[in-house]
Amino acid sequence: MKINRPLSSHLTIYKPQLTSTSSIIHRISGAFLAIMVLFSILLCKIGDFSPTFYQIYCYVFFITSHFHWLILSLVNFTLLALRYHMSNGVRHSLWDPGSFLELSKVYTSGIFMLFCAACLVVLNMI
């Protein structure tokens, strides 16, 4: 006998909540920041192999003149991920000693964390 029901809880059953969404985005932003750190280390190592300053200058000029929109987007997205990850990290640090663990305070701190991250991003644009 085959029953058409899920075997376990799945993402399609539950509607997204602030707590689960912020947790998932926190993990994604942390992984993205780790990849960006590794990528920047790789770029620094590639820069060591260039024999002359002129070749580095030509390479950087080509990249910045043709792909300036990509570089600016990547930098802004990295700063957005950093601001969000930092704000949510402060929230998690407040949870460690046992503060703000009631459900109403968790949602309030989540909304406040999103507001702080948005303010930091706006301050970055000024």
What's the rounded Cα separation, in Å, for the pair 41 and 35? Answer: 10
C-alpha to C-alpha distance for 109 and 92, rounded to whole angstroms: 10
The answer to whether 85 is annotated as binding is yes
Per the CB < 8 A criterion, the answer to whether 113 and 87 are in contact is yes
Separation between Cα atoms, residue 80 and residue 74, nearest integer Å: 10
Give binding residues for heme as ranges. 85
Give binding residues as ranges. 85
